[in-house]
Amino acid sequence: MVKKSYELTGAEWAIIRAVWENEPCPAPTVQEVLQKQKNWSYSTVKTMMDRMAAKGLLKTERIRNLMLYRSVINKQTARKNEIMRTVKRAFDGAMTPMMQFMLDSNNLSEGELSEMEEMIKSKKNKIGTKAQRNKGTE
């Protein structure tokens, strides 16, 4: 099965976050959450949710006269797609220049830098372990 790459608009991000926090949920629940943030009417939210369902971002389940919505994608997939889309557009898909830009542009604390170092070390270890296993099967 091929994984589909989803691109969410800003408005879709707002809706899917509300769905993640409340799923399964009807449109009025999402509208209540977004009323505080966006001041969107029920009809706006319902129309957008129906469009997101048609695009395959949400799935629906009807229980009598109540329509419940669930997300099709999880937070990790949505975030990954968003980051990769940005890297592709802004850095021609190259991760190293993106990381250099982030390091140069942000005031990272020593703790955050240490965390990043640990993540890189961990990833290198996983790659090394995988390479060793593959070498042993050849």
Are both 66 and 119 inside the same structural domain? no
Are 67 and 14 members of one domain? yes
Q: What does the pLDDT read at residue 43?
A: 95
Nearby residues of 1 by Cβ (< 8 Å), 6 or more positions away: none
Question: Which among 55, 71, 87 is the end of a domain?
Answer: 71
pLDDT at 38 over 60: yes
Contact between 81 and 7 under an 8 Å Cβ cutoff? The reply is yes
Rounded to an integer, what distance in angstroms lies between the CA atom of residue 13 and that of residue 7? 10
Is the residue at 106 inside a domain?
no
Give the residue among 58, 79, 60 at the shortest CA–CA distance from 15.
58
The verdict on residue 66 lying in a domain is yes
Tokens of 79: 């975030």
Q: What is the C-alpha to C-alpha distance for residues 49 and 59, in angstroms, rounded to an integer?
A: 9
Reference 68, options 81, 76, 59; nearest CA is 59
Three-state DSSP class for residue 44: helix
Residue 60 domain-assigned (yes or no): yes
Residue 91 within any structural domain of the chain: no
In-domain check, residue 86: no
State the residue range of the domain holding 36. 10-71
pTM of the model: 0.76
Whether 98 is in a domain gets the answer no
pLDDT in tens, 121-132: 999 988 887 777
Looking at residue 107, what is its pLDDT? Answer: 85
Mean pLDDT computed over 70-98 = 93
Instruction: Please report, for the domain that includes residue 41, its CATH number.
Output: 1.10.10.10
Examine residue 33 and state whether it is found in any structural domain, yes or no. Answer: yes
pLDDT, tens digit, 9 for 90 and up, residues 17-26: 999 999 999 9
Asked if the peptide bond before residue 24 counts as cis, ω within 30 degrees of 0, the response is yes
Report if residue 104 sits inside a domain: no
Domain tally, the chain: 2
Q: What angle do CA 8, 108, 13 make, to 5 degrees?
A: 10
